[in-house]
A = this chain, B = another copy of it.
Amino acid sequence: MFTGSNNVTMDSKGRLAIPAKIRDALADACGGRIVITAHTEDRCLLVYPEQEWAELQEKIAALPNMNPKARRIQRLVLGYATPLELDSNGRVLLPQTLRDYAQLEKKLILVGQNNKLELWSEALWNSWVDEDEPEGDIPDAVSALSL
């Protein structure tokens, strides 16, 4: 399980060093075989261990694709999904299209989210943290929460 956040840096070739602790967790979870894709609701990337991804991929592929909302999710999630492996120094090379989608530059934040990780541009992460509370319905499960 992944928790906690890390500052990471992307070099000029788009290589990203995975922090050693997360690297170990990934080695346990999936032998370092991961899939990175787009988040549909925010401009950030999702990092999945291979098996986690396989389950999600099936669910997404099964959505009714004449529905616009479902088609949007399919296009983005399947369309950006890229299997990646760590190089000999524990780095991954992020494809240009993923860098573009999440507006990644040098300074990034890698955020643990239990079964996956999120990868944000530091600037977008900070402005998301500063954002006002979202409007709209609050599900019962959220109202019932007690931190």
List chain A positions with a Cβ less than 8 A from chain B: 3-7, 37, 39-41, 46, 56-57, 59-64, 66-83, 95-97, 101, 109, 111-114, 118, 128-129, 133-139, 141-142, 145, 147
Contact across chains for B97 and A147 when beta carbons are under 8 A apart:
no
Pick the contact of A142: B63, B112, B139 (CB < 8 A).
B63
How far is it, in angstroms, between the C-alpha of A129 and the C-alpha of B79 when the chains are bound?
Answer: 11
How far is it, in angstroms, between the C-alpha of A77 and the C-alpha of B96 when the chains are bound?
Answer: 31
How far is it, in angstroms, between the C-alpha of A139 and the C-alpha of B71 when the chains are bound?
Answer: 11
Contact across chains for A75 and B136 when beta carbons are under 8 A apart:
no
Pick the contact of A79: B46, B101, B112 (CB < 8 A).
B112
Nearest residue (CB) in B for A97 is B5
Contact across chains for B147 and A75 when beta carbons are under 8 A apart:
no
Pick the contact of A56: B41, B83, B134, B147 (CB < 8 A).
B147
Contact across chains for B141 and A82 when beta carbons are under 8 A apart:
no
